[in-house]
A and B are shown apart, each in its own frame.
Chain A
Amino acid sequence: MTDTTSVRDTILAVLSEVLFEPVEALRTEPVLAVHQWDSVISLEALVRIEERLAVSLDLRSYHEAREVDDLVDLVVAAGASVNVRL
């Protein structure tokens, strides 16, 4: 069973690390494109999200994600097990 809140927290922590933005800024402005969400950063985030949440994502769906919650939904649907290592 996946705890959506824990998944969101983990994803926000990863995004905060790779974008060098405080978590609060990402909560306030969850649209990824507003931040420095380029192809290099997005792949770095992908590797981190998959490692921390023990999940493997379809890259096509991943690239379609526009907001933080799109990533959360994607990870939850893939059956993430929370293995938080901040």
Chain B
Amino acid sequence: MDDVNDLLAALGTAVAERRTPGPATLDALGRLEDPMTMQAAGRILKGLSADDGGLRPVRVAVQATFTAGPFEQLLRAALVGAGALPAIEVGAYASFDLSLATNAYAGDGDPDVLACLLADGYLLPAGWSAGDPAALVAHLDARVAELRDLVLASAERTTATIALHTVPMPAELRDGLISWRGRSAVAAAWHRMNAALLDLAADHAQVVVIDLAGLLADLPAASRDDRLYRYADMPYTVRVLALLAQQVRRVVQARQGLSRKVLALDLDNTLWGGVVGEVGAGGIELGGLYPGNCYAGLQRTAARLREQGVLLALASKNDPDLAERTLAEHPEVLLRPAAFSARAVNWEPKADNLRRMAATLGLPTGSFVFVDDSAFECGHVRAELPEVAVVAAGGDPAHPARSLLRHGWFDVLELTGTDRERPDLYRARAQRIEHSAGFASTTDYLHALAIEVTGSPVTEYTAPRAAQLAARTNQFNLTGVRYDEATTAAMAADPGRLVATFAVADRFGDEGIVGAAWVTVTESEWRVENLVLSCRVLGRGIEFAVLEWIARRAQAAGAPVLAARFVSTDRNGAADGFLEKAGLAPTAEPGWRSLGLTDRPDTFPTWIRLRDHR
């Protein structure tokens, strides 16, 4: 869907029919760059009230030190394009300090994300004197210290992720000082102020800082329209607000687990120049000068994503032996065969290959980003799998590396140890599937895997991973509730609660932490408020081992009953029926099931060894 009018009409229809826009419409919305069209889309989407579960609800509060104007519409369009159903609350004009000081932005409850929009007018003294740069510098230092205190104090009282940004130095200040020495001193103070804002991300786990001042260097448009600034206190043009909205979208996407996990790459004219089947391994363009350095650049970009936990997959129409040999032996190749967690090098349609690789990895095709130079292949995948994000790598080979990164498909709030190990974990999974072919029965195979499940109360080191699992896990998520890091940490510190993480290892390697449970603990009953398990370990009985671990601890604590509930969502069918199979019987309380711990049925899988702590 490339036509703007078609897109806006499709959005209008979805709003009128109270349903999630179709995948092709969401894809087109997600790729929108023109701020005017985004604004129009955002206005239409204000009426969106889809309750079919196709979009993930998210609450965003916006507090600005200026007139935010079209920001709400731009943000709404960006968020729906990323798969979210946003409820956006924009604070009243000139209420920034008061709202942060009292957490008034929370309204009836904490939002998921608080976006703080800042401008220079908030930081500069009203009548700054050009004759005294030192006083100006002192004022800026003091002002940013006040702002830092305000943000940090607010972060202590909320579970929201607080997103703020650096502030570009206004031309009025830069050019209003005629002494080069004074200009340098004030510019240095301005950069120090922005550095102090960026440091907030290191000072508090709930704070994210967007480097707007840096991003503007890449924006080919004016950042301020003086007329709108003077008339309406709008210090940023709609293009800057669109850029900011996309950055906040990336924060929301990372926080809500809407980011992608897999990068599927074509080979010929994508990871190297030329068609290897025609020119041979020695004839491809890779490394050295242009254009070979462009292809090496894309490989390096993909390798860096892999270092941060993104799974790489190969989707190439090629002779598999020749492709393998080229990847293994060409001296300039940076992505050797072992870098890919899944491979589909054959002559089958690429959409089919992406589906197969998704099944092998145990991930939905909606977690894939696909890069290919061929307009035909890109169009085919868009048509067959509109939920896959497609990056067209045709044209000049200098562009794809930046095109791949600029949207922020893979953003996460924080990298965990599991993230870094993920590519190898999934590669082991693919090997496991190959290994399973040699066994007479599933049980024989599972016994041969020598699976160990280790349960541990959550710690300050594992709370981020537990929250990440809650955000990302859809299929085995008992209730659909997503406890964030702040809530998880608060529950862990509460003696009436237990939050536990579960790690899995087998003969093919250590999967790391793949599950988490949030439990309310009383003398009479332990209640599992939610339990999530990564889809990559489903089908091995791990969930029964997890429940067994909780049951044993409850029993050891003297509790007679273990209770849990299943709440059906549009995507957690994998967890449906689990509690029943684990022996929990319905209770009088709607949705809840329970199990007497003194005489409980043995549902623990014989092929799993259960361990306590690590």
**Given A40-B69, A43-B69, A48-B36 contact (CB < 8 Å):** yes
A51 beta carbon closer than 8 Å to chain B? yes
Closest residue of chain A to B69, judged by CB? A40
Q: What is the total number of residues of chain A having a CB less than 8 Å from a CB of chain B?
A: 12
Set of chain A residues within 8 Å of B237, measured between Cβ atoms = 47
Q: Does A17 contact B (CB under 8 A)?
A: yes
Any A CB within 8 A of the CB of B101: no
The answer to whether B69 touches A47 (Cβ under 8 A) is: no
Please tell me which one of the listed residues B40, B43, B231, B238 contacts residue A47 in the complex, with CB atoms under 8 A apart. Answer: B238
**Docked pose: A18 CA to B228 CA in angstroms:** 17
Q: B36 contacts A47, CB within 8 Å?
A: yes
User: How far, in Å, is B69 (CB) from chain A's closest CB?
Assistant: 6
Contacts of A43 in B (CB 8 A): 69, 228, 231-232, 234
Contacting pair A44 B232 (CB below 8 A): no
A44 with B70, Cβ < 8 A, contacts A17-B40, A51-B36 known: yes
Task: Please name all residues of chain A whose beta carbon is closer than 8 Å to the beta carbon of B63 when the two chains form the complex.
Answer: none
Name the residue of chain B whose CB is nearest to the CB of A57.
B227
B39 an interface residue at 8 Å Cβ cutoff? yes
CB of A59 within 8 A of chain B?
yes
Q: Are A59 and B238 in contact (CB under 8 A)?
A: no
Name the prevailing secondary structure of the B interface residues: helix
B39, A59: Cβ atoms closer than 8 Å: no
Q: Which residues of A contact B39 (CB under 8 A)?
A: 44
Contacts of B50-82 to chain A: CB distance below 8 A: 69-70
Q: Which partner residue on chain B sits nearest A41 by CB separation? A: B43
Closest to B4 in A: A86
Quick one: which of A40-65 are within 8 Å of B by CB? 40, 43-44, 47-48, 51, 59
Task: Decide if A5 is an interface residue (CB 8 Å cutoff).
Answer: no
Residues of chain A with a CB closer than 8 A to B36's CB: 47-48, 51
Say if the beta carbon of A28 comes within 8 Å of chain B: no
- Docked pose: A44 CA to B225 CA in angstroms: 13
**Contact indicator per residue, chain A 51-86, by CB within 8 Å of chain B (1) or not (0):** 100000001000000000000000000000000001
Measured in the bound complex, the distance between the Cα atoms of B36 and A59 in whole Å is 20
Residues of A within 8 A of B225 (CB): 47
Tell me which residues across on chain A come within 8 A of B238, comparing CB atoms.
44, 47
Shortest Cβ distance from B235 into chain A, in angstroms? 13
Mask for A22-52, Cβ within 8 A of B = 1, else 0?
Answer: 0000000000000000011001100110010
Measured between alpha carbons, how far is A86 from B228 in the docked complex, in Å? 24
Cα A39 to Cα B69 in complex, Å, equals: 10
Once bound together, how far apart are the Cα atoms of A17 and B234, in whole Å?
22
B residues in contact with A17, CB < 8 Å: 40
Residue of A nearest to B231 (CB): A59
Contact B232 A39 (CB under 8 A): yes
Cβ-closest 5 pairs across A and B: A59-B227, A48-B36, A47-B238, A59-B231, A17-B40
